[in-house]
Amino acid sequence: MKSDLARIVGDEHVLDPTAQYLDDASAASGVHGRADVVVRPGSADEVSAVVRWCYEHDVAIVPRGGGTGYAGGAVPLDGGVVLALERLRAIRSFDPLLWRMEVEAGVLTSTVARLARENGLLYPPDPGAAESSHIGGNAATNAGGPHAFKYGVTGAWITGLEAVVAPGELVQLGGPVRKDVAGYDLRSLLIGSEGTLGIITAVWLRLMPAPETALPVAAAFTDARAGAAAIEAVMASGVIPAAIEYLDAGSVDAAAATFPAPLDDERRFLLLVEADGTRAGAEHAVGELREALGDAVVHAPVTPADVRAFWEWRSAVSHAVTATRGGKLSEDVAVPVDRLAEAIEETVAIGERHGLEACSWGHAGDGNLHSTFLLSPGDEDERERADAAAHDLFAMAIRLGGTVSGEHGIGLLKNGQLRHQWAPAAVALHRSVKEALDPKGLLNPGKKLP
Amino acid sequence: MKSDLARIVGDEHVLDPTAQYLDDASAASGVHGRADVVVRPGSADEVSAVVRWCYEHDVAIVPRGGGTGYAGGAVPLDGGVVLALERLRAIRSFDPLLWRMEVEAGVLTSTVARLARENGLLYPPDPGAAESSHIGGNAATNAGGPHAFKYGVTGAWITGLEAVVAPGELVQLGGPVRKDVAGYDLRSLLIGSEGTLGIITAVWLRLMPAPETALPVAAAFTDARAGAAAIEAVMASGVIPAAIEYLDAGSVDAAAATFPAPLDDERRFLLLVEADGTRAGAEHAVGELREALGDAVVHAPVTPADVRAFWEWRSAVSHAVTATRGGKLSEDVAVPVDRLAEAIEETVAIGERHGLEACSWGHAGDGNLHSTFLLSPGDEDERERADAAAHDLFAMAIRLGGTVSGEHGIGLLKNGQLRHQWAPAAVALHRSVKEALDPKGLLNPGKKLP
């Protein structure tokens, strides 16, 4: 195996597997991978040749981006080849005046965002680990983030994909053209498919002129019900907020110490709402939002430094929650926005039923909760109860008309959930599509589908 | 056949085929359908039962919405059942405060738009025949329109589908939840698949608060090159226009008489650019657009009545071009926006090569041309030359990195083009997906795929 693969990518790019290539962010949940070899192709053609070799030799292929996923999607289960895309780092083209960019899969999300920003543009998707996640991984998982409320998830910004499909063909699905109904939307089919239908090697991105200003407002409420009522008031204000985020009481308790404004003990449910646009436009919109939020407003940063500090604090909420007990099990269910308060309350109730402290925060406008159970590292009994609690959480999301994953994906960890969320006929469709595109079942086996 | 189907939908909803159910807008190109029977189910369950019966009896199924398509997608080729969705007209739910609506496939696009508007909301997609097209047909073709530049095509506003798939299963793909990465994006796979993978029976739509104001500006240039340079200036202005439309000289000649402002003879290339938002925001943005367009601005309506008249004039351009000679062949190729001027010029040159008068207009910001050859009705020789010219047009679009269809779809009329645009491996993927979802090939046979 090694010598064949070395002939394709060069000796120095065929490596023995190390944790760096076997684990992702799910390692915190005790998930560790096992592979035979790590291959680091240097071009899309080499990816194609590696896939072709694997497909001929019945060897499993686990594509790997930045390894920042929470669902174990990049973790090899049972040997095979880890196909690391980190050397595909070319910015193939960038036309700021035309609001578009073509980049290879291994380019960091933060690089895309920075290039756009330096040219007066915005690449809106802002998933949590942008400093280390790859744009290809973002595409493969259809990553979200706070600003997906106004701007949509990663897929909304991809006009075309280059990908390797079985048994090793390099194909182009879409391109720089912004509208195309000539074929089936295979681009969207691969986006979010977590490497189980093909290996994304490059993406064409569309961009937009950067808003001049973004002005967030934080408002504090007594509980989730009051917060949810405020969300409806915000949605009735006529403004389209750039983001509507929330933290419930448990999350606020974990993160309040570093919040840039005082928070009182009676109002521990936080809404973070942002308006963006021209300076005048954003200021006008923030006025409308303040009216909708009334006297609940507790903080409204204005200077760029304060706004940045505000969002850095928001990004650190997950770490602050972990720090409470040293460990956590966090899921990313989503529900219709009118069921959000129910889902937030029930997260805590599910925790109580399993003897676990629970909290949640997340993308309120999209009904997307990061429902979390606090854990002491190494406590196996607690871990098992958390797994059981997570199952109750998934059942709740489905009962409320939602999904077991709003943005992290199914990967390995939620693999059994698909058949609870989808009717048998819909699961059968998934199975048919998988068999059509990966007849040997070698593309990221054991992920996404049961 | 009739008695079996009558048992499902009732006697009065099994009809002998008439032109109303056999032709669509492609009838102007001489395309007429042939079917055995028309069935008008009254519910999604009846659609399911009809499809199940057809699948069991190897009978082709041609789903039909408003019949406004230009590609012959709703035209039955060789017998079978026309499945008309016009009785599926329920607004299943409408939550204006939550910016969402669930409607059945047969609801008119204009009804969706009106309901949204009456509640302070906007359903942005604005395909040409909104007064008669169905929302289900819009979804099945992923219909576009002028405002797709800022707001995206139909699919961008669909969070979930209800559809009947082979051999007659009613499935739900997505729903009211705004983010969902639990499964494959089968929703997007069905959107734009022109009824060849399943029959859409209902859609969940997301909506947005309506902009307070929309202010269009028209600017006139000497030729397409100057107009294209102005598009780049507009894109560099920092404003995201709601629409960037164009008319070339031939189209202006056809439509100038009713244009609400005088146009001089030297500047016959028109750009129509619109800014929307709050009144102050739109006024500010229009100021930026005017600066980018310089002294080319010829018209800038401000009152709602004048703005409406302006867009009504724009909608009538296609009819005005037809009126020039009594007939036309119009295609909807799209190219990367930096190749737009080339595509506009080449449309005219292709016409000349085939002895045909040609012009184009369309969605400039999306690089989407309605490239058109003028015809005299009944002149068969001209019609044949126009068909040959259309083939050159498709080849040009592909050579420029574009697509043979930006928004009308492939249907019947462009059916052979797929293999020119897509590489063999990509065509094979299409074929695999079709076989996976429609193993008997009974769903709208002869459409989309060769």
pLDDT, tens digit, 9 for 90 and up, residues B180-201: 999 999 999 999 999 999 999 9
Q: In what order do the strands lie in the sheet with A169-174?
A: A91-95, A100-104, A199-206, A158-165, A169-174
Whether the pLDDT of residue A28 is over 90: the answer is no
Average of pLDDT values for A183-194?
97
The model's pLDDT over B413-436, given as tens digits with 9 standing for 90+, comes to: 888 888 899 999 999 999 999 999
Confidence of residue A201 (pLDDT cuts 50, 70, 90): very high
Instruction: Please tell me which of the candidates A182, A407, A425 has its beta carbon nearest to residue B181.
Output: A407
Measured distance CA(B404)–CA(B408) in Å, rounded:
10
Q: From B191, which residue of chain A is nearest by alpha-carbon distance?
A: A185
The model's pLDDT over B263-292, given as tens digits with 9 standing for 90+, comes to: 999 999 999 999 999 999 999 999 999 999
Q: Which residues of A376-430 form beta strands (DSSP E)?
A: none
pLDDT (0 to 100) of residue B155? 98
On whether any CB of chain A is under 8 Å from the CB of B45, the answer is no
pLDDT (0 to 100) of residue B416? 84
Q: Dihedral of CA A277/A283/A288/A294: which sign? A: positive
B403 with A186: Cβ contact below 8 A: no
B367 with A179: Cβ contact below 8 A: yes
- In percent, the amount of chain A with pLDDT more than 90 equals 94
Helix H or strand E encompassing A62: strand A61-64
Measured distance CA(A116)–CA(A111) in Å, rounded:
8
Instruction: Please tell me which of the candidates A120, A366, A426 has its beta carbon nearest to residue B178.
Output: A366
B235 with A120: Cβ contact below 8 A: no
Measured distance CA(B295)–CA(A55) in Å, rounded:
61
Whether the pLDDT of residue A430 is over 90: the answer is yes
A287 vs B contacts (CB less than 8 Å)? none
B414 vs A contacts (CB less than 8 Å)? 182
Average of pLDDT values for A162-166?
98
Whether the pLDDT of residue B29 is over 90: the answer is no
Q: What backbone phi and psi angles, to 5 degrees, belong to A181?
A: -120, 25
A186 vs B contacts (CB less than 8 Å)? 189, 426, 429-430, 433
B178 with A402: Cβ contact below 8 A: no
- In percent, the amount of chain A with pLDDT more than 70 equals 100
Average of pLDDT values for B314-320?
95
What ipTM goes with this model? 0.96
To test the contact with chain B by mutation, choose from A126, A181, A289 the residue with the greatest count of B C-beta atoms within 10 A, namely A181
On whether any CB of chain B is under 8 Å from the CB of A146, the answer is no
Whether the pLDDT of residue A95 is over 90: the answer is yes
Confidence of residue B399 (pLDDT cuts 50, 70, 90): very high
Q: What backbone phi and psi angles, to 5 degrees, belong to B361?
A: -150, 170
On whether any CB of chain A is under 8 Å from the CB of B186, the answer is yes
A189 with B185: Cβ contact below 8 A: yes
Interface of A with B in 83-122 (CB under 8 A): 95, 97-99, 120
B142 vs A contacts (CB less than 8 Å)? 181, 185
Q: What backbone phi and psi angles, to 5 degrees, belong to A223?
A: -160, 180
- B201 neighbors B162 (Cβ within 8 angstroms): yes
Interface of A with B in 54-83 (CB under 8 A): none
Whether the pLDDT of residue B26 is over 90: the answer is no
Confidence of residue B31 (pLDDT cuts 50, 70, 90): confident
Instruction: Tell me how close the Cα of B430 comes to any Cα of chain A, in angstroms.
Output: 7
* Long-range contacts formed by B347-350: CB under 8 A, 24+ apart: B347/B248, B347/B371, B347/B372, B347/B393, B347/B396, B348/B248, B348/B250, B350/B389, B350/B392, B350/B393, B350/B396
The model's pLDDT over B79-125, given as tens digits with 9 standing for 90+, comes to: 999 999 999 999 999 999 999 999 999 999 999 999 999 999 999 99
Instruction: Please tell me which of the candidates B177, B181, B410 has its beta carbon nearest to residue A336.
Output: B177
On whether any CB of chain A is under 8 Å from the CB of B212, the answer is yes
Token pair 């933060």: residue: A110
3-class DSSP state of A383: helix
- A146 neighbors A126 (Cβ within 8 angstroms): yes
Average of pLDDT values for B253-261?
95
B182 with A236: Cβ contact below 8 A: no
Whether the pLDDT of residue A361 is over 90: the answer is yes
Instruction: Tell me how close the Cα of B78 comes to any Cα of chain A, in angstroms.
Output: 23
B155 vs A contacts (CB less than 8 Å)? 185
- DSSP letter for A167, please: T
Least confident of A92-96, A445-449, B109-113: A445-449
Beta-ladder partners of B61: B81, B443
B426 with A235: Cβ contact below 8 A: no
A429 with B171: Cβ contact below 8 A: yes
Q: Give chain B's length.
A: 450
Measured distance CA(A293)–CA(A277) in Å, rounded:
20
pLDDT (0 to 100) of residue A277? 96
Measured distance CA(B71)–CA(B443) in Å, rounded:
17
Instruction: Please tell me which of the candidates B184, B237, B337 has its beta carbon nearest to residue A433.
Output: B184
B278 vs A contacts (CB less than 8 Å)? 281, 284
Instruction: Please tell me which of the candidates A120, A177, A338 has its beta carbon nearest to residue B403.
Output: A177
pLDDT (0 to 100) of residue A27? 84
A176 vs B contacts (CB less than 8 Å)? 336, 401
Instruction: Tell me how close the Cα of A193 comes to any Cα of chain B, in angstroms.
Output: 6
Interface of A with B in 360-379 (CB under 8 A): 363, 365-368
Average of pLDDT values for A174-185?
94
| Mean predicted lDDT score pLDDT of chain A | 96
Return the number of other C-beta atoms located less than 10 Å from residue B118's C-beta: 9
To test the contact with chain A by mutation, choose from B95, B117, B165, B177 the residue with the greatest count of A C-beta atoms within 10 A, namely B177
Q: Which two tokens stand for residue B319?
A: 């009819």
Instruction: Tell me how close the Cα of B16 comes to any Cα of chain A, in angstroms.
Output: 32
pLDDT (0 to 100) of residue A450? 78
Instruction: Tell me how close the Cα of A200 comes to any Cα of chain B, in angstroms.
Output: 14
The model's pLDDT over A391-414, given as tens digits with 9 standing for 90+, comes to: 999 999 999 999 999 999 999 888
B95 vs A contacts (CB less than 8 Å)? 338
The model's pLDDT over B338-347, given as tens digits with 9 standing for 90+, comes to: 999 999 999 9
Q: Which residues of B260-345 form beta strands (DSSP E)?
A: 269-277, 297-299, 327-331
- A434 neighbors A427 (Cβ within 8 angstroms): no
Whether the pLDDT of residue A415 is over 90: the answer is no
Q: Name residues whose C-beta falls within 8 Å of residue B413's C-beta, 6 or more positions apart in sequence.
A: B26, B29, B31, B70, B71, B72
To test the contact with chain B by mutation, choose from A340, A429, A432, A435 the residue with the greatest count of B C-beta atoms within 10 A, namely A429
Q: From A156, which residue of chain B is nearest by alpha-carbon distance?
A: B156
pLDDT (0 to 100) of residue B450? 78
- A206 neighbors A159 (Cβ within 8 angstroms): yes
Measured distance CA(A259)–CA(B186) in Å, rounded:
41
Whether the pLDDT of residue A442 is over 90: the answer is yes
- In percent, the amount of chain B with pLDDT more than 70 equals 100
B240 with A176: Cβ contact below 8 A: no
Whether the pLDDT of residue B392 is over 90: the answer is yes
Interface of A with B in 328-347 (CB under 8 A): 334-338
Q: From B153, which residue of chain A is nearest by alpha-carbon distance?
A: A179
On whether any CB of chain B is under 8 Å from the CB of A257, the answer is no
The model's pLDDT over A295-351, given as tens digits with 9 standing for 90+, comes to: 999 999 999 999 999 999 999 999 999 999 999 999 999 999 999 999 999 999 999
pLDDT (0 to 100) of residue A20? 93
Pairs across A and B, CB distance < 8 A:
264
- B196 neighbors B443 (Cβ within 8 angstroms): yes
Interface of A with B in 258-277 (CB under 8 A): 277
The model's pLDDT over B124-170, given as tens digits with 9 standing for 90+, comes to: 999 988 889 999 999 999 999 999 999 999 999 999 999 999 999 99
B189 with A421: Cβ contact below 8 A: no
- In percent, the amount of chain B with pLDDT more than 90 equals 94
B280 with A277: Cβ contact below 8 A: no
Q: CA geometry: angle at B370 spanning B364 and B375, to 5°?
A: 150
Interface of B with A in 191-210 (CB under 8 A): 191-193, 197, 208-209
Return the number of other C-beta atoms located less than 10 Å from residue B424's C-beta: 10
A334 with B366: Cβ contact below 8 A: no
Instruction: Please tell me which of the candidates B188, B236, B430 has its beta carbon nearest to residue A183.
Output: B430
Whether the pLDDT of residue A130 is over 90: the answer is no
The model's pLDDT over B211-256, given as tens digits with 9 standing for 90+, comes to: 999 999 999 999 999 999 999 999 999 999 999 999 999 999 999 9
| Mean predicted lDDT score pLDDT of chain B | 96
pLDDT (0 to 100) of residue B130? 85
A182 with B98: Cβ contact below 8 A: no
